[in-house]
Amino acid sequence: MACGRAWDAVAITPMSLGLDALVAMRLGPRSGYPVLADHIRSQLYVLVPPGTGAAAAGLPAVRVLSAGHQLLVPATRHGSPAAHWISPPREAAALLVRTDRLTHHLRALARDSQKAAVS
């Protein structure tokens, strides 16, 4: 699917970092916010409003897919062992994660990780 139209995708590596950010945001798998797990690359793709993904650019372990990028998504609601929807998109208008909230939590996790490494 083309990125940058209905949504941007924020790719987070390792997947566990993205999952920790979602937990901190209290966005569970039944929350309706589309989140895709790529088990081959150990990446988590969080869909955010189009044109806002750039706010996450430059964060460690983050790559932004926006206009001009494509994201391979599962053809079924759940996916396959290689990639699956942790939280599948809704049939109606998709809820999208606010990029500012996501980046806030990713920065906080990075700070906590740096503090732990220094200790």
pLDDT score recorded for residue 119: 62
For residue 48, the model assigns a pLDDT of: 96
pLDDT band with cut points at 50, 70 and 90 for residue 98: very high
Per domain, the residue ranges of the chain are 8-118
Amino acid at 36: L
Helix, strand, or coil (residue 73)? coil
User: For 17-64, what is each residue's pLDDT tens digit?
Assistant: 999 999 999 998 888 899 999 999 999 999 999 999 999 999 989 999
Q: Kindly state the percentage of the chain with pLDDT values over 70.
A: 97
**CB–CB of 84/74 below 8 Å?**
yes
pLDDT at 103: 96
Q: Which residues neighbour 70 within 8 Å (Cβ) at sequence distance 6 or greater?
A: 1, 2, 3
Q: What integer pLDDT is reported at residue 62 of this predicted model?
A: 95
Residue labelled with tokens 């290689």: 82
Mean pLDDT for the stretch of residues 60-76: 92
Please check the confidence at residue 118 and state whether its pLDDT lies above 80: no
Is the peptide bond between 50 and the residue preceding it cis, with omega within 30 degrees of 0?
no
Average pLDDT over residues 83-108: 89
Q: How many CB atoms lie within 10 A of CB 4?
A: 17
pLDDT of residue 87: 87
